[in-house]
Amino acid sequence: MGLRWRFEYSLLLLMLLSIAAVQFSEVLLQQARVITPGAPTLTEPMSDRSNGGNSEVRRGPSKGFELQCTLHERYRYPYCGIALRFDPQRLHGIDLSEVRRMRLWLDYQGPASTIKIQLRNASPAYGIPQGEQESAKYNHIEINASSIQDGMVEVDLHNFVVANWWMQQFHIAPHLGRPDFSNVIALEIVTGTEAPLGDYRFVLHKVEYDVQHLSTERWYLLIMSIWLGLALLYLFMRLVRLQTVVRTQRQQSQELHEINRVLNARSEQLVQMATTDALTGAFNRKGLEDVLQQALADWRTHQHPLGLVLIDIDHFKAVNDTHGHQTGDRVLAGLAELVRRHVRAQDLLGRWGGEEFLLVCRDTQLPQALGIAEKLRALIAGHDFGDGLRVTASFGVAAMDNGERPLEQVFAAADAALYRAKAEGRNLVIAEGALTG
């Protein structure tokens, strides 16, 4: 599977998981807690006797906690019921602030149609004296006995209210009049308001409530944080990948640049090798052809005159024969070097054959070419080619000034002039005009 597909599948999976996490947050976050009457929770009967009444309470034989009671009229508001005390000291209860619902498995028989469920909350804010039960806040709800279905009734803690009579009796400030479940010290199930006198029976099997370890807000925040974290991680990874790609591409581009540079240099070297005479550094025949082509094109386009100077070393065979071939080579290289040093940059020297050179003088008319040749002749004749060795050279000069002469003819004219220079005693410069003159 491609990386992109894998990423998209992961994204889809994460989305589904997030939807499920939101949809089933209640199931996921809530955990049921069960309280059964008896140890360790102190379960006891309660009645109006503590208020001076004379109702009677008895423990019954049933499984769970069974209370039988008979309400008598001595107390103004006769009542009886079951109390589950979470702290016998009546100080440190349980925190039910995050609890939404509570389920009671309860059997009830009696003439009252309602039952009161009270969650008693202790707090120093209500000014409770040590161990005083009565000052604990009365968070209560009154349910219809008929709402007990199959021995179970569920109550919503959001529907609990604080008893008015408790507020008045204990002079509670109005801002403390809202239900508070932060420190519930007891759960009481008692006969409803103005319960008729007579016999009652309560059997409490168990109480169950759901605790939410993490609030829904925090749960949503967690899901969002995971998304945010993953998005940041993704961006970070992408950035790192992009940087790596950019770095690799830059490296590759540098390598290519380097390879290109080496290839260009090599190619220039090859071109130079292919067009240069190794011994003298002057152009070889091929190089000279290119130079002449270029000069010819120049002449055609701009009518720039072109001077050709043929240079041939005199009695070169004798130099070889007398001083050896190596010295002959040295003379050839020295002469080429000497010529190059004393001509203009646009005058290009090539080795036409053994000891014969051709100087191509661009933008040069015959008189100037003649002047150059004369200057070179004198220079060569006066030059020391090592160990006092001196040579002379003969020059044939021709130029392509005007008229429609092919280059071959100009070259032939220069060659003929050279031939004449040789014939007329060497160490001479002869221009093509002198031939016909």
Ligand X SMILES: Nc1nc2c(ncn2[C@@H]2O[C@H](COP(=O)(O)OP(=O)(O)OP(=O)(O)O)[C@@H](O)[C@H]2O)c(=O)[nH]1
Cα–Cα distance between 352 and 63 in angstroms, integer? 130
Q: Which is nearer to ligand X, 183 or 394 (CB)?
A: 394
Q: How far is the CB of 337 from ligand X (least distance, A)?
A: 15
Q: Which is nearer to ligand X, 134 or 337 (CB)?
A: 337
Q: Does 45 bind ligand X (CB under 6 A)?
A: no
Query: Distance from CA of residue 425 to its chain's centroid?
Result: 86
Q: How far is the CB of 427 from ligand X (least distance, A)?
A: 10
> How many CB atoms lie under 10 A from the CB of residue 62?
15
399-428 residues near ligand X, rule: CB under 6 A: 422, 426
341-380 residues near ligand X, rule: CB under 6 A: 354-355
Among 284, 331, 339, 285, CA closest to 311: 339
Number of residues that bind ligand X (CB under 6 A): 15
Cα–Cα distance between 402 and 434 in angstroms, integer? 18
Q: Does 299 bind ligand X (CB under 6 A)?
A: no
Q: Which is nearer to ligand X, 354 or 406 (CB)?
A: 354
DSSP letter string, 13-55: HHHHHHHHHHHTHHHHHEEEEEE-SSTTSEEEEEEGGGGT---
Tokens of 10: 């992961």
305-344 residues near ligand X, rule: CB under 6 A: 312-317, 320, 325, 328-329, 332
Q: Does 431 bind ligand X (CB under 6 A)?
A: no
Q: How far is the CB of 280 from ligand X (least distance, A)?
A: 9
Q: Which is nearer to ligand X, 305 or 396 (CB)?
A: 396
Q: Which is nearer to ligand X, 186 or 313 (CB)?
A: 313
Q: Which is nearer to ligand X, 180 or 277 (CB)?
A: 277
281's enclosing H/E stretch is none
Q: Which is nearer to ligand X, 101 or 325 (CB)?
A: 325
Q: Which is nearer to ligand X, 312 or 347 (CB)?
A: 312
Cα–Cα distance between 181 and 163 in angstroms, integer? 14
Strand arrangement, sheet containing 114-121: 42-47, 80-85, 184-191, 114-121, 137-144, 161-162
Q: How far is the CB of 422 from ligand X (least distance, A)?
A: 5
Tokens of 116: 């009161």
Q: Measure Cα distances from 254 to 74, 242, 246, 251 in Å.
A: 105, 18, 12, 5
- Three-class SS state of 149: strand
Q: How far is the CB of 315 from ligand X (least distance, A)?
A: 5
Q: How far is the CB of 296 from ligand X (least distance, A)?
A: 27
Q: How far is the CB of 389 from ligand X (least distance, A)?
A: 13
Binding-site ranges for ligand X (CB under 6 A): 312-317, 320, 325, 328-329, 332, 354-355, 422, 426
